[in-house]
Amino acid sequence: METPTPAEPAIPPSSDTVTRPSESAARPWYKRLLPEKWFHKGPLVPVLRFEGTIGAVTPLKPGLSLSATAGAIEKAFTMKGAKAVAVQINSPGGSPVQSTLIFKRLRALAKENDLKVYVFAEDVAASGGYLIALAGDEIYAEESSIVGSIGVITAGFGFHELINRLGIERRVITAGENKTTLDAFKPEKQEDVERIKSIQRDVHASFTDLVKQRRGAKIESHGDGLFTGEFWSGKRAAELGLIDGVSDLRTACGKFSARIRVSSSSRPKPAGSARSLMWGQATVSPHCGACHRTWPVM
């Protein structure tokens, strides 16, 4: 298959993108003594940055969520003079609910303000990170970015043999026979596994439906092979239709116009380990009373 020619986003042009000699000469003397960028009035593209694991990680290390990012998102879409909104993503995924809520908010504000959204993936836009990227009218990444991982994962540990050897007795009292599921201190039960797999299938189906809806004909020829949880380089993702081309924010804006203004909105940047970013997965393990559960994450 031929490698697609790297594309650049079609950021809407503006009548103020070219500086004419007469404009420069007409500037007041004090403005001519100072850098022109101080008085720059070119087209404006607000930039949102999403970085880290999506959802609650620990109380001391909050991840990306709609509540944490809503203010920045609102600010970007309502900034005066905005011609489009750019979104930089560097996330391995996490909570499917928070990923979807952020996606929906981006699309709602894009429609409400009649603005295009251009997404740029950095190191990784995988799983829930890719779901957020789907909010873009166009998606771009670096050749070596990690893109995809359209799947659902649930991870945990089993310690029942260890506590038996240590002579520790686990005591759990519940009302409801299925209140404890995948208890790490009890042997794994097949009915628990099937219950979690059923939830995973529902979450995965919603994810794949959204990918098909947003990417449309660009991915039709590749069938369900895109939905196995596999991830690809940015270059390969462009060939598969998961993104629109290979580019980065500064290059794209520079090719559009030397006079474009890029304004960073406040950027939520939760703490995330280098390892989680490298391997493209995240695990969220919420606690509820005496019951420890490991839920599906993207």
User: Is residue 17 over pLDDT 90?
Assistant: no
CATH of the domain at 121: 3.90.226.10
Identify the three-state secondary structure at position 298.
coil
Residue 280 in any domain: the answer is yes
> Would residue 183 count as lying in a domain?
yes
Q: What integer pLDDT is reported at residue 296 of this predicted model?
A: 59
pLDDT digits (tens, 9 = 90+) for 213-228: 999 999 988 988 999 9
- The per-residue pLDDT for 260 is 53
The confidence score (pLDDT) of residue 195 equals 93
Is 273 inside any structural domain?
A: yes
For residues 225 and 263, the model is more confident at 225
* Distance in angstroms (rounded) separating the CA atoms of residues 244 and 217: 12
| The one-letter amino acid at 136 | G
Residue 216 token pair: 């449309």
* Separation between Cα atoms, residue 116 and residue 137, nearest integer Å: 6
What average pLDDT does range 24-28 have in this prediction?
57
Whole-number Å distance between alpha carbons of 283 and 286:
10
Reported as a single tens digit per residue, the pLDDT across 169-228 is 888 888 988 888 888 988 989 999 999 999 999 999 999 999 999 999 999 889 889 999
- Give dist(CA 127, CA 204) in Å, integer: 10
Whether residue 137 has pLDDT greater than 60: yes
Rounded Cα gap, residues 100 and 152, in angstroms = 14
Q: Is residue 205 part of a domain?
A: yes
Please state the rounded mean pLDDT for residues 265-278: 42
Q: How high is the mean pLDDT of the chain? A: 79
Residue 196 in any domain: the answer is yes
Number of domains in the chain: 1
pLDDT digits (tens, 9 = 90+) for 88-122: 999 999 999 999 999 999 999 999 999 999 999 99
Assess if residue 8 is contained within a domain.
Answer: no
What domain range includes position 227? 21-292
User: Could you tell me if residue 30 is inside a domain?
Assistant: yes
* Assigned domain for 119 exists: yes
Q: Is the pLDDT of residue 287 over 80?
A: no
Question: Is the confidence at residue 34, as pLDDT, over 50?
Answer: yes
100 touches 209 (CB < 8 A): no
Mean pLDDT of all residues in 4-19: 49
